Amino acid sequence: MRTPGTETEDSEIIVTIDGPAGSGKSTAARQLAVRLGFDFLDTGAMYRAVAWQCLNSQIDLQSEDDVAGCARDLKISIGDGKVIANGEDVSAAIRTPEVTEVASKVAINTRVRDAMVRLQQNAAKGQNMVTEGRDQGTIVFPDAICKFFLTADVEQRALRRQQELEQQGQNISLEEIRSQIAERDQRDIERDVAPLLPAEDATLVDTSQMSADEVVDHLEKTVKQRCGRDID
């Protein structure tokens, strides 16, 4: 996939998948994109890259101007399973709990979101794309032909996050993860800029008792029912 920000022709089919942390949207979006033969845009990685750069450059997170400037100057490239920030592979570095915490904080900065939204919209021009995040169906691609909002109960989401961290060699208690998720949910839902909520025309999917394959099967079936002729 090309670097976000590259100018292309008008977009074709956009599938948006929004939802809170641990709902399974990232895994589902990647797998759905493969099944459909679409590009995949990990918008969360973009905000994480901004957070990583802020931490790496010791930016004062309380300064909206400094954080916005960091986002504006950051060169992000996403593709082939890698996230490149200013020429450095930060794919693993942006997945730490510290970066995760900061990412949700920088995301409330209006100018950061404006910059990321422009990159995301440009990245999708002329492409069949599956994109996931928290505001894809409401703010970034309001005219997308197919929108989903994935959710799951907090306990399941905390367990998934713990397993993900363990695979990265990080051991954090379930209680701490549950607390982090609850705090992030509240921050995302209550923020003034692009709050976390489903688009009015989004299909709601509770993944609490569904396997990853079951989720993707459901999404794929729905997408093909709505625009299968264009895909096939």
Query: Residue 167 belongs to a domain with what CATH number?
Result: 3.40.50.300
The whole-model pTM stands at: 0.84
Q: Is residue 232 part of a domain?
A: no
Query: pLDDT confidence of 229, banded at 50, 70, 90?
Result: low
Instruction: Tell me whether residue 7 is in a domain.
Output: no
Q: Is there a domain that residue 225 lies in?
A: no
Task: Answer yes or no: is pLDDT of 33 > 80.
Answer: yes
pLDDT grade for 34, boundaries at 50, 70 and 90: very high
**Pairing verdict, β 88-89 and 129-133:** unpaired
All residues at 6 or more sequence positions from 193 whose CB lies less than 8 Å from its CB, including other chains: 107, 108, 109, 110, 113
Q: Flag whether 161 is in a domain.
A: yes
Backbone phi, psi, residue 149, to 5° = -130, 110
User: pLDDT tens digits for 54-95?
Assistant: 999 999 999 999 999 999 999 998 877 789 999 999 999 998
> Is 169 within a domain?
yes
Domain that holds residue 79: 14-215
Q: Tokens at residue 176, please?
A: 């701490």
Amino acid letter, residue 116: M
What would the pLDDT profile of 106-123 be if each residue is shown by its tens digit? 988 999 999 999 999 988
The answer to whether 33 and 22 have CB atoms below 8 angstroms apart is no
DSSP codes joined into one string, 32-84: HHHHHT-EEEEHHHHHHHHHHHHHHTT--TT-HHHHHHHHHH--EEEETTEEE
89 within domain boundaries: yes
In a domain, 118, yes or no: yes
Q: Is the pLDDT of residue 5 over 70?
A: no
Count of structural domains within the chain: 1
With respect to residue 220, please indicate whether it lies within any of the assigned structural domains.
no
